[in-house]
Every structure is written in C-alpha cells, then in structure tokens.
Amino acid sequence: MNVLILNAGSSSLKFQVIATDLERIKTSSDERLCRGQVERLGGEAIITVQSRTGPRRKLTAPIRDVAAALDYVLRWLASENSGVPEIRSLGDVHAVGHRVVHGGETFHESALITDEVLKGIEDCIDLAPLHNPNNLKGIQAVREIFGSQTPQVAVFDTAFHATIPEHAYLYALPYHLYRRHRIRRYGFHGTSHRYVAYRYRALCGLTREQTNLVTLHLGNGCSACAIRGGHSVDTSMGMTPLEGLVMGTRSGDLDPAILNLMAGKEGLSPHEVESVLNTQSGLLGISGLTNDMKVLEEELLVHEDRRVRLAIEIFCYRARKYVGAFLAAMGGADAVIFTGGIGENSPLVRARICDGLAWAGLKIDAARNEQMVRREGRISTDDSTLNAWVVPTDEELLIARDTVRCILGEPHPG
C-alpha cells in the first residue's frame, strides 16, 4: 500500500510517501519512496523534493494554499522524472495519513476519517486554533482531489498522552475551568515519543509492559515524556506546546505572573505577550542571536560569547531538571532517550544534560556519545544503571503504519 503522509501547517505542507502493509510492518521492511515540503505558501513558494534514488531538488512556484500545494505535489509525483515509478497516477496512492495536532479528550488513538471524526477534529479547534484548521484543510484538499473513496487517517500529536492520569494532567486552578473549558495538560509530540519508545523496546527485546523511560524530543519544539509500562504518564508540554522545556523560540515554564508584568511594563496586549513567549524567547531570546542550536554551538567554539553559553546552559539545565522530576514521578526508569534534531545530533547537549545525573546511575560514555550522530544506539557506560540512548525519530513511519492498521481494523500495538 502506498501511503501519502501529510503534515499541513499555516504556511507549509510537508509530505512523504511510504510503501507499507501488515507484512512489511511485521518485518520492518517499509519503504520510503519520497519526501519533500512546500514552504512559504501564499506567495512564491519553495518546493523541496527528494525521491528514494534521485538527488534533492529545490524549485520555486507561486502556490496559494494547502490545496494548491497538494495538487502541485501530486503532479510532481506522477510525472515521468519524479524518480517515484510506483506512483504513475492518483490511483497509485492508496491511502493518506495526516498529522493532526490536537485530538483533545476525544481521540485516544489514530482514527479513520469519517464525517464524525472530521466533526471531532473541528470541535478541537478551540484547543489548537493555530493548528487544527490547517490539518483540516489538508484533509479537505485530499477529499476534493481524490474523492471520498480514498481512505484517510488522522494521527494525533496528543493521542499517546491520553493515558496521563488526572493528578498529572490537571492544573491547580479552580476545577470549574477544567469542566467548562477543558483547561488541562494534553501534551504534544506524542507520535515521536511513542515511536522512540517502540524502537527502544524493539532494540532491547522488551515487552511494552517492561518499557520504562524518560524520552526527550529536542528539536525546534522540545518536550519530555515519562513512559511507564509503555504508556505516557506525564509530559512537559501542557494545554499548548508552550509549557515545559526551553525551546528554539519558546520560553517553556515561567512564573505566570510575569505575563501581566510584561504587559504593563512593555505596553503589550495579552496576545502580544504570548507572541513574545512563543516566537522571541527560548534559545533565541537568551542568546539574542538565533534559535538554531547548531549555530549556537559553532558560535561558542569561535567566540566564547557569554549569552550563547548561557542559552545552551539554561536549555540543558531545564532538560536535566525534567529528567530528574520524571524519574521521581515514576520511581526510576531504565533509560533516557534522546531524539529530535538536537537530541540526535548534539553530543555536547546530551553530555551536558546527563552530566548531573550520576546520582541516578547514568554515566555517559564519551566516545559512544561522540559517535552516535543520527544513529540509534546506547551512549551510556556499561556499568550505568540508568542508560542513555539516541533513537532518531520517524513520526511519518508511524503515521504510515497507523494508517494501514486503521484501514484494516488492526489494533494498535502502541
């Protein structure tokens, strides 16, 4: 089955095509046929495409919106020179899987899209006004182009966290705010945390019940997840993706009274304050230079800039604090898993986060840590009682597999 995976954002459409089915899932022989993205929708868009065998190509074209981007991608896929011979016409795309950001309290797992499911995703718009409408546009665009006979599946960022218990998801606010407005922790990056937990247990030959981890997804957005018996029992992102770890441009945790103070002192509206926390804070805010960890690390080597050093230090300190908190919350774990662009590529950040965790039994093996770049493997010493691993994430693979399972009515392995 050729599954088209779509991640529709406000100004971009990311896509992949993965060939998979139940047999391929069992034998891990799924095949990625191509990947790409269309960025800067609404003007002269930048299109990046790469087939399994061909080189990476970059083009530009005026593209209005998600529907036009999808049309463009499909025409490229079916063209002679796409390098994807498996797709010659629309009929060769057998199903579509969508990343959907918010499933609220309605969706505890991936769902085959029906009118009722569409309504459920619409009902979650209140919870994710910036994200769910774009995801819905992606789903509508597929319906318009393919018709309703092509099955579509929604895979929710929040679904993996549906197992978080009440005492971990409720904020200490007046309870009626939860009743009236569903104000609570939902958590995000669920597909990534779920994927790396699944990979870890496959690599170690463990059952789901034996899987006890703290997973750290460190990319542009960052979150930690406490996984006990294979289930998410707590996570650092909250009602929105703003809470928790320090991120590229997001502040993560702060004293909520600062919001009012900032508004008064800087003459900002509540909306503007939130925008500062989302887009001008985190690594960018502290360093005053960039949200890009790779650039910060390079800068540190050349200039030993105080604020660059601080940005990295605060990032790592916050992450270590969350690891400690989640170890305490779970009564220990077997491993800390690093994933996401920073987690997969930065030995420096991994070492700094783990440096203060010897008390918990975690000691980093410096040579293993240096070698483990975009590869999966253990980076702790043989005598560590709490291990550290790098596991590159692959959310699209999980979306493709969930799509197949949902269509065939197979249960999720989690």
285 binds ligand ADP (CB under 6 A): no
Max Cα distance, the chain (Å): 61
Active site residues: 157
Per CB under 6 A, the list member of 196, 233, 277, 342 interacting with ligand ADP is: 342
In one-letter notation, the amino acid at residue 210 is Q
340 binds ligand ADP (CB under 6 A): yes
* Closest distance to ligand ADP from the beta carbon of 346 (Å): 4
Contact criterion met (CB below 8 Å) for 361 and 385: yes
Which segment (88-96, 98-106, 198-206, 291-299) binds ligand ADP by CB under 6 A? Answer: 291-299
293 binds ligand ADP (CB under 6 A): yes
- Residue 391: helix, strand or coil by DSSP? coil
294 binds ligand ADP (CB under 6 A): yes
Residue closer to ligand ADP by CB (options 213, 246) is 246
Q: Measured between alpha carbons, how far is 39 from 37 in angstroms, rounded to an integer?
A: 6
Closest CA to 189 of 326, 402, 339, 328: 339
Cα angle, residue 38 at apex, residues 140 and 59 outer, rounded to 5°: 140
97 binds ligand ADP (CB under 6 A): no
Cα angle, residue 263 at apex, residues 257 and 269 outer, rounded to 5°: 125
Question: What are the CA-CA distances from residue 246 to residues 214, 296, 311, 313 (Å)?
Answer: 17, 14, 9, 10
# residues contacting ligand ADP (CB under 6 A): 13
Residue closer to ligand ADP by CB (options 82, 345) is 345
Residue number, nearest CB to ligand ADP: 341
Residue 204 DSSP label: H
Instruction: Show the site string, 237-256: x = touches ligand ADP by CB under 6 A, - = not.
Output: -----------x--------
Closest CA to 401 of 198, 218, 179, 133: 198
341 binds ligand ADP (CB under 6 A): yes
75 binds ligand ADP (CB under 6 A): no
* Closest distance to ligand ADP from the beta carbon of 47 (Å): 18
Binding residues for ligand ADP, rule: CB under 6 A, are 219-221, 248, 292-294, 297, 340-342, 345-346
